[in-house]
Structure 1
């Protein structure tokens, strides 16, 4: 019961203090200017946090839920692997087989 009384007294004291402060017109103006400045700053901050997902801001930052973008990235990865398999490994096989043939020719000439 005492806890409820303390809370009521606290609220009554805050209300009386606010009334006394805002009874003067210059204090009301100060409070209104401070409130408007704070509101402008908060709105500015919230606007700066909104990201426009244009092609330039999206580069390198794949959205986990963007299925088309993830599919494109997956295809790009498989394309590079396919290129490696076709070009690099095929060239390596050709080089290895050429070296093996040269070794056979050298051993026959000896």
Structure 2
């Protein structure tokens, strides 16, 4: 507990000594504002990216994964193909009789 107290005290003293100079305060303010602006830009880009992805997602199923949608479409085609083959087989059997 004692070491933490001395560490915080030393950190506070160093901060005071650094920010005592007006030039250092101005540099720190500029650096803080630049960092804040960059973070806001990254957040805006992330929001825009999410909005773009939502607009590209299929609306009927509510799914956001385009690969899943492709797989579902292919699965539906396979089922239709299988059904058509069964229909042709049954019609061929009735025609052969």
Bin the TM-score by the shorter chain. Answer: 0.5 to 0.7
SS at match of 2:62: helix
Structure with higher Rg: it is 1
Structure 1 residue 89 displacement after superposition: 3.0
* d(CA) in 1 for partners of 2:15, 2:76: 69
5+ long unaligned stretches in structure 2? 64-68
Normalised to the residue count of structure 2, the TM-score between the two structures is: 0.63
Structure 1 residue 42 displacement after superposition: 1.5
Q: What CA RMSD, in Å, does the superposition of the two structures yield over aligned residues? A: 3.5
* d(CA) in 2 for partners of 1:48, 1:88: 50
* d(CA) in 2 for partners of 1:90, 1:25: 87
| Residue in structure 1 matching 2:30, options 33, 41, 53 | 33
* d(CA) in 1 for partners of 2:35, 2:15: 19
Map 1:23-62; keep pairs closer than 5 Å: 23-50=20-47, 51-52=50-51, 53-54=54-55, 56=56, 58-59=57-58
* d(CA) in 1 for partners of 2:45, 2:35: 15
Structure 1 residue 34 displacement after superposition: 0.9
Normalised to the residue count of structure 1, the TM-score between the two structures is: 0.57
Higher RCO (CA < 8 A, seq sep 6+): 2
* d(CA) in 1 for partners of 2:25, 2:8: 20
* d(CA) in 2 for partners of 1:46, 1:17: 33
Structure 1 residue 82 displacement after superposition: 5.0
5+ long unaligned stretches in structure 1? 60-65, 102-110
